[in-house]
């Protein structure tokens, strides 16, 4: 190392951002639970002519909802999902026009929560990763605001069993 080179902090396995920086496909192992095909719209662009960072959340939300809509009884008056956490690692700018695939995988199933990893990739080249990360959904009773168990159809679909 020469004196003009900046030092980099040591990356550890305890730091998820560091782990993802080393292995951006960490959440990509195994077949996706669901893949949504989306197109970039002109209105998604910002002043720098690439997709605005907040729009990535919209793409991921759209993929989650498309997945959930194919399940029965994922939401009711007594049980509904809320977004508890989101993590996005921006890997590459998305420019218009582009066709995207948003891949979802189940990373963790809890009693009332599910952690979904996501990857936004180019539809023609899955090796072109625009974004990866994870979101946590918690099912709550909307009236009480308290967690409730995951609906059986969500648990079965996320676990890869045919009960949905």
Chain segment 27-65, per-residue pLDDT in tens: 445 789 999 999 999 999 999 999 999 999 999 999 999
Residues 6+ apart with CB under 8 A from 11: 18, 19, 21, 22
Q: What global pTM score does this model have?
A: 0.79
- Angle made by CA atoms 9, 17, 5, in degrees to the nearest 5: 30
Give me the residue spans of the domains in the chain.
30-159
What is the pairing mode between strands 80-90 and 99-109? unpaired
Residue 148: burial class (beta carbons within 10 Å; 0-12, 13-18, 19+): middle
pLDDT for residue 26 = 38
The values of phi and psi at residue 89, to 5°, are -110, 110
Q: Which of 12-16, 112-116, 149-153 has the lowest mean pLDDT?
A: 12-16
How far apart CA 52 and CA 96 sit, in angstroms, is: 11
Q: Which CATH superfamily is domain 30-159 in?
A: Hotdog Thioesterase (3.10.129.10)
């Amino acid at each position: 190392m020469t004196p003009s080179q900046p030092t980099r902090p040591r990356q550890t396995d305890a730091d998820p951002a560091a782990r993802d920086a080393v292995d951006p496909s960490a959440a990509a192992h195994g077949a996706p639970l669901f893949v949504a095909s989306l197109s970039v719209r002109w209105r998604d662009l910002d002043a720098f002519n690439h997709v605005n960072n907040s729009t990535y959340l919209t793409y991921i939300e759209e993929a989650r909802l498309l997945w959930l809509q194919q399940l029965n009884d994922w939401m009711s008056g007594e049980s509904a999902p809320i977004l508890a956490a989101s993590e996005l690692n921006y890997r590459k700018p998305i420019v218009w026009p582009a066709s995207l695939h948003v891949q979802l995988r189940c990373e963790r199933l809890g009693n009332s929560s599910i952690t979904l990893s996501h990857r936004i990739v180019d539809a023609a080249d899955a090796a072109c990763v625009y974004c990866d990360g994870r979101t946590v959904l918690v099912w709550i009773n909307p009236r009480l605001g308290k967690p409730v168990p995951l609906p059986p159809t969500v648990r079965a679909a996320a676990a890869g069993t045919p009960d949905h």
